[in-house]
Amino acid sequence: MAYVRRVFAEEIAAHFAVEDGVLVPAVAGKDADLDRIVDEIESEHADMTALVARLSDPALDEAAIDAALDRLGHMLEGHVRREERDYYQRIQEVLDAPSLQRQLDRFDRHLVHQMYLENEVLFRRALATLVEHQTT
């Protein structure tokens, strides 16, 4: 369990912090659909963080740990898909090219421990491609 908690803290929670500190302020209040998505994303962040914290409970038996890890895996998979299909897509629809570029620059400056989780790489590529297409 120590490994799961460490990876969650170093990689996933750090990813949540970058999103919450960079993306959320950039898009807050710009679009009702985007605000709804942000609320869902932040709720998922809280749910996953609470689930990982629960894994520290010494009273959990092996079956409960297995169930919690399975649930965490499904939550992460759904979360990444929501980000890629809904959140990042809607950001691209709402923000113009200069705003997207500013967010890409801020995002790059705020990456923690060189986090290159798949959805972040895809988001950066998508932003770069959109900026490139809008400036040509």
**Predicted model pTM:** 0.73
Closest CA to 31 of 87, 102, 98: 87
Between 99 and 121, whose confidence is greater?
A: 99
Q: Is residue 30 within 8 Å of residue 87, measured between CB atoms?
A: no
Per-residue pLDDT band for 131 (boundaries 50, 70, 90) equals: low
Those residues whose C-beta lies under 8 Å from the C-beta of residue 17, and which sit 6 or more positions away, are 112
Question: pLDDT value at position 111?
Answer: 59
d(CA 16, CA 20): 6
Read off the pLDDT of residues 20-73 as tens digits, 9 standing for 90 and up: 887 888 889 999 999 999 999 999 999 999 999 999 899 999 999 999 999 999
d(CA 110, CA 69): 28
Question: pLDDT value at position 34?
Answer: 94
118 has pLDDT over 60: no
Read off the pLDDT of residues 61-117 as tens digits, 9 standing for 90 and up: 999 999 999 999 999 999 999 998 999 889 888 888 888 778 777 777 665 444 445
Half-sphere exposure at residue 17, Cβ-oriented, CA atoms within 13 angstroms: 13
